[in-house]
Structure 1
Amino acid sequence: MTASRRIEALLQDRFGEPFTVDPGWPGLERIESLIKHRVIRRYSPQPVDAALIRLICACALSAPSKSDLQLRDVVVVENQATRQEIAGLIPDMPWIGQAPVFLVFLGNGRRIMEIARLRTKPFPNNHFDLVFNAATDAAIALATAVAAAEAMGLGACPISVIRDHAARVGALLDLPERVIPFAGLCIGWPADEGRMSPRLPLAMTVHRDRFDEENAPDAIDAYDRRREQMAPYRTQRDTQMWGETARYGWSEDKARQYAQPQRGDFGAYVRSRGFSMD
């Protein structure tokens, strides 16, 4: 099968709608590697060479950065005691402690302020945009690291839940003011094929000229049914509160997940680290 046909089949599985890919388009091998993305949570014991991790970090930090400010950093967590303490904070994700490599991506608003001080310039921009730019830079670097790891045959799993424990993770990593943990990333050689997550249809998430969600309820129902056929949930969330339902799809799971407060103290933590949220 040609690369274009493989991409068409992958996109059909991912989005549940037909795609046409011209075999003459350039870069299809790279496109295929992006479309094939799967989260990997089980890893072989084979170690990952430190030089390979350095290369992945270099790829991540080669990614676009807002105004070339470079408001992101990466911590390679090599100390096993530190790693296991982070893993212990999140016991329902054992792969944090088991993966051969664990990185933490940081949003760094400190460096540009230090540069202003070094060059004796004012810095009137410690407001919410600094936080937003640092988080965006970290997110772009994280996504690029995933793509780089997968291009090498490695598997990866982002860990955003470290922000549930931002203060403790920040202390463990000795983060200074205006540097905050954005997400972790497990990396290793895959022990299985992982799982492909079906996505919402492009008709719902790609807009032309103006935002339009007129048909969102029907599209979400259809997506729930398709996802249930492809990757049904093994368990239902918070049954002690919501009970069990015959039809348990993506929308029900996410509604239940966010029916509980999530990281209500994160804004206070960010402020405590010297960022302004105004």
Structure 2
Amino acid sequence: MDVFDVLHQHRSIREYHDDPIASELLDEILQAGVRASSSGNMQSYSIIVTQDKARREALFEPHMKQNMVVDAPVLLTFCADFRRMRKWLQQSEAPLNFDNFMSFMIAAIDATLVSQNVAIAAEAKGLGLCYMGSTLANCDQIGEILELPEGVVPVVGYSLGYPAENPEIRDRLPMDGLIHHEVYQDHDDDTIQSIYHDRETAGWARYMSYPELKKMIEDSDVENLAQVYTKLKYTRESHVTFSNTVLNYLAKQGFMNHEPS
């Protein structure tokens, strides 16, 4: 498939056929993925390929009980990983500098870049996937199940398999709300309303088309799509909790060392 066709046809797949992914195909996709850009060409990431059903079932709860975790034949978890390089540095008697938040960010960006390369390669081969924010939100639980040692943190993950559904392509915000030329152009109130106008309509209709979500909305004090995001979907309380989880896990995994200011 043409790469532009692949990109424009992306949609999240949550229902999968039982067909396994051939090891040769999976290897081909991963080999294409690791050609992604990488800071300093360090490849400060690792990819965990989970196919064992029992382990996928163990990941079901920390992945917020999303059915695709057990229904898809493969789960891919992309980890920020400086453990491998720290060992090499130690063997080479080089300073162990990669034990701080900046190092985590470098590795997290590397992991995210390779995850998207793998995703594009997979979709070009007719596979479907769905990214899961639960990978980072519950990184401590997922890290324990995947037996991640110090220096490794799960950042990005998704289910992978042959699609058993053909959902509509989701809308995106208009280009003039996303692209800034030369410098950042802060939007005035009217422009903000214009940028989010179609999303307000389409997004609200989408949520109200699901009986469970419709009931949840009707049983709450939510009146518009913005409130769905912040009162139901991404609450302050949940984000504070997940923030503390990530920060505590980063400290445990050796990414929060720093010199006194």
Q: Same fold (TM over 0.5)?
A: yes
Tell me which of 233, 238, 260 is aligned to 1:261.
238
How far 1:197 moved relative to its partner? 1.9
Most deviating of 231-240 and 171-180: 231-240
Which residue number in structure 1 is paired with residue 128 of structure 2? 155
Q: CA deviation at 1:186?
A: 0.8
Give yes or no for the alignment of 1:270 onto 2:250.
Answer: yes
Whether the 8 Å contact between 1:72 and 1:106 is mirrored in structure 2 is: yes
- 8 Å CA contact 2:139–2:245 kept in 1: the answer is no
Residue 241 to residue 69, structure 1, CA distance change in 2 (3 Å)? farther
The Cα offsets for residues 126-151 of structure 1, whole Å up to 9 and x where unpaired, read as 32210001110111111111101100
**What 5-or-longer segments of structure 1 have no aligned partner?**
1-27
State the secondary structure of the residue aligned to 2:114: helix
How far apart are 1:182 and its partner, in Å? 1.1
3-state SS of 1:117 partner: helix
Q: Which amino acid aligns with 1:254?
A: Y
Aligned to 1:224: 199
Alignment of 1:86-101 (within 5 A): 86-101=59-74
For the Cα contact (< 8 Å) 1:236–1:253, is it kept in 2?
no
Superposed displacement of residue 229, structure 1: 7.8
The equivalent position to 2:221 in structure 1, one of 229, 243, 250, is 243
Residues 200-227 of structure 1, C-alpha deviations (whole Å, 9 max, x = no match): 1111111011111323531344133452
Moved more, 112-121 or 28-37: 28-37
Aligned length, in residue pairs: 248
Report the 3-state secondary structure (helix = DSSP H, G, I; strand = E; otherwise coil) of the residue aligned with 1:266.
Answer: helix
Counterpart CA distance in 2 for 1:83 and 1:125 is 31
Using the aligned pairs only, state the percent identity. Answer: 23
Name the residue aligned to 2:78. 105
Q: Structure 1 198/72 Cα, relative in aligned 2: closer, same or farther at 3 Å?
A: same
* Contact 1:41/1:194, CA 8 A, preserved across alignment: no
Letter matched to residue 255 of structure 2: F
What is the alpha-carbon distance in structure 2 between the residues aligned to residue 92 and residue 184 of structure 1?
14
* Equivalent position amino acid for 2:130 in 1: C
Tell whether the 8 Å contact from 1:100 to 1:188 is kept in structure 2 after alignment: yes
Contact 1:38 1:197 in 2 (8 A): yes
1:1-278 to structure 2, matched below 5 A, reads 29-215=2-188, 216-228=191-203, 231-233=206-208, 234=210, 235=213, 239=217, 242-245=220-223, 248-249=224-225, 251-256=226-231, 257-259=233-235, 260-262=237-239, 263=242, 264-276=244-256
- C-alpha RMSD of matched pairs (Å): 2.3
Q: How many Å apart are 1:171 and its aligned residue?
A: 1.5
Contact 2:99 2:256 in 1 (8 A): yes
Q: TM-score, normalised by structure 1?
A: 0.81
Which residue of structure 2 aligns with residue 20 of structure 1?
A: none
The one-letter amino acid of 1:219's match is S
**1:172, CA displacement in angstroms?**
1.5
Structure 2 unaligned blocks of 5 or more: none
